[in-house]
Structure 1
Amino acid sequence: MTTNADDVWRLLGELIEAQKETERVIKEQSQETEHRFRETDRRFEETKQLLQRQSEQSDRRFEETKQLLQRQSEESDRRFREQSQESDSRSETLRERRFRETERIIKQQNEKLNQELGKLGNRLGEFVEWQVRPAVVQLFQQRGIAVNEFHANISVKRSGEALEIDLLVVNTDQAILVEVKSKLSQTDIDEHLERLEKFKRLMPAYRDFKAMGSVAGMVVPENVARYGYRRGLFVLAQSGDSVVILNDDKFRPRQW
């Protein structure tokens, strides 16, 4: 097949037209792409602005919420302080009232205790004055101890030591130290034994005497009486309107 000049020009024309069409399509596509890019940019900008507005709105709401919470917190603190002050005031008033009431009760109890102690002191004084003193010499004489005098309320201080004796019953060579209590206890007996240990040291005038001990009580529990007996002491107790020695005839007093 032979190609002539007309065919060449015709093919060349077709190529030129095809190129123009391609350029036209490319241009249209480019314009469309650019249009889409601009649209995308526009939408992006709108979205960006929307997000910015939403962010600003969120920030504003956050700040409003923060301020609201701050006001609520301050209000809560204020109410708490007011309630605390009111509660403290009520508590303080209640404490003061309770303290005054306790103080009043203690004062009444102290007054009552002082009255009872006064009565007890009077009773103890009467016990010593009207029962122990008149009977004590005779009671020991009946036990074969020939005492004939007594001395009451002796107080001695020597070389930094002190000694107090309720009743001291003596003759020429014997001395009996008598301790008198309203209610006799084991502790009273132990303290009287200590008193007997330092008797001759603090009262050397009786150094050559045979010293003995005795305890007396308006009330003498049985176990305490037995304890005094075992420790070598005479135990005297009130019996009606008189005083008796509780030790039996087998008892032998301890001597110091």
Structure 2
Amino acid sequence: MTTVTRDEVWEMFREVARRFEETDKQFKETDRKFQETTKQFKETDRKFQETTKQFKDTDRKFQETDRKFQNTERLVKEVSKSIGDLGNRLGEFVQEMVRPALVNLFRERNIDVHEVHPNIYAERNGESAEIDLLVVNEQTAIAVECKSQMTIDDVNEHLNRLEKLKRLLPKYRDVELMGAVAAMVMPNDVARYAYRKGLYVLAQSGNTVLIRNDGKFSPKIW
């Protein structure tokens, strides 16, 4: 049987005490790290809540912006419609202003027309066209496009309309078809363009309507 001396016993106690101190130290270190982790978790949670709040604020602002955008879009549509309606009414005004003068204006140009037909619409074989005013006699027809303000695009559209008019209105197949554009506002560049394309150019001058083409003008015949 082995005999344990007093010194060995004390050494064992010292070793146990040392290990206890190390364990206690490790426990305290673990507790410190746990507290740091808890603190970090709380900080992360706080930031998450702030982010959530910011997201909600952003979403609210986005919804407000979207609502304002929809209101703005609605207002733009309403204004565009109002402008379009006004443009149509002004175009109708030009049409009514021009119509009584057409027969005399073209007779002064030695074109002996005697009838004016407003708002001619034709549709045939998938094509369609609408003529504001059609001035005619037995041998001649002049299709007049009326606008409050004439543009080059309007002139081009009328030229395309004239290209297909005889197909759509066979009763005028054998007449000399010519074209004209009339407007309250006729910019000079548009008037020159229409002139070069062989169209009569009618514009307001004071309280009357005049044909602006000079004596050298030769109309295009369709």
Same fold (TM over 0.5): yes
Q: What residue in structure 2 maps to residue 93 of structure 1?
A: 60
TM-score, with normalisation over the residues of structure 2? Answer: 0.85
Distance 1:253 1:140 in 2: 12
Distance verdict in 2 for CA 1:48–1:176, change over 3 Å: farther
Of 138, 161, 169 in structure 1, the residue corresponding to residue 104 of structure 2 is 138
Aligned positions of 1:144-155 closer than 5 A: 144-155=110-121
Aligned positions of 1:185-196 closer than 5 A: 185-196=151-162
Partner-residue secondary structure (3-state), 1:254: coil
Q: What residue in structure 2 maps to residue 124 of structure 1?
A: 91
CA contact (8 A) 2:94 2:147 kept: no
1:43, CA displacement in angstroms? 11
1:50, CA displacement in angstroms? 7.0
Higher Rg of the two aligned structures:
1
Distance 2:149 2:203 in 1: 10
1:58, CA displacement in angstroms? 4.4
* 1:90-120 CA distance string (max 9 Å, x none): 2233233333333334444444444444333
Distance 2:206 2:213 in 1: 18
Partner-residue secondary structure (3-state), 1:181: strand
Of 172, 192, 212 in structure 2, the residue corresponding to residue 226 of structure 1 is 192
Q: What residue in structure 2 maps to residue 15 of structure 1?
A: none
Q: CA RMSD for the aligned pairs?
A: 2.5
Of 39, 48, 73 in structure 2, the residue corresponding to residue 72 of structure 1 is 39
Distance verdict in 2 for CA 1:54–1:251, change over 3 Å: farther
Q: What residue in structure 1 maps to residue 147 of structure 2?
A: 181
* 1:10-35 CA distance string (max 9 Å, x none): xxxxxxxxxxxxxxxxxxxxxxxxxx
* 1:161-210 CA distance string (max 9 Å, x none): 11111111111011111111111111111111111111111111111111
Structure with the higher fraction of residues in helix conformation: 1
CA contact (8 A) 2:94 2:182 kept: no
Distance verdict in 2 for CA 1:115–1:193, change over 3 Å: closer
Q: What residue in structure 2 maps to residue 102 of structure 1?
A: 69
Is 1:253 the counterpart of 2:187? The answer is no
Runs of 4+ in 1 over 6 A off after TM superposition: 41-48
Q: Identity over the aligned pairs, expressed in percent?
A: 37
Q: How many residues align?
A: 216
Partner-residue secondary structure (3-state), 1:198: helix
- Can you give the 5+ residue segments of structure 1 that lack an aligned partner in the other structure? 1-37
Distance 2:79 2:165 in 1: 37
Letter in 1 for 2:35: L
Distance verdict in 2 for CA 1:200–1:68, change over 3 Å: same
CA contact (8 A) 2:90 2:147 kept: no
Distance 1:249 1:43 in 2: 135
1:238, CA displacement in angstroms? 1.6
Q: What residue in structure 1 maps to residue 50 of structure 2?
A: 83
* 1:189-234 CA distance string (max 9 Å, x none): 1111111111111111111111111111111111111111111111
- Can you give the 5+ residue segments of structure 2 that lack an aligned partner in the other structure? none
Is 1:172 the counterpart of 2:172? The answer is no
Higher relative CO (CA 8 A, sep ≥ 6), structure 1 or 2?
2
Partner-residue secondary structure (3-state), 1:172: coil
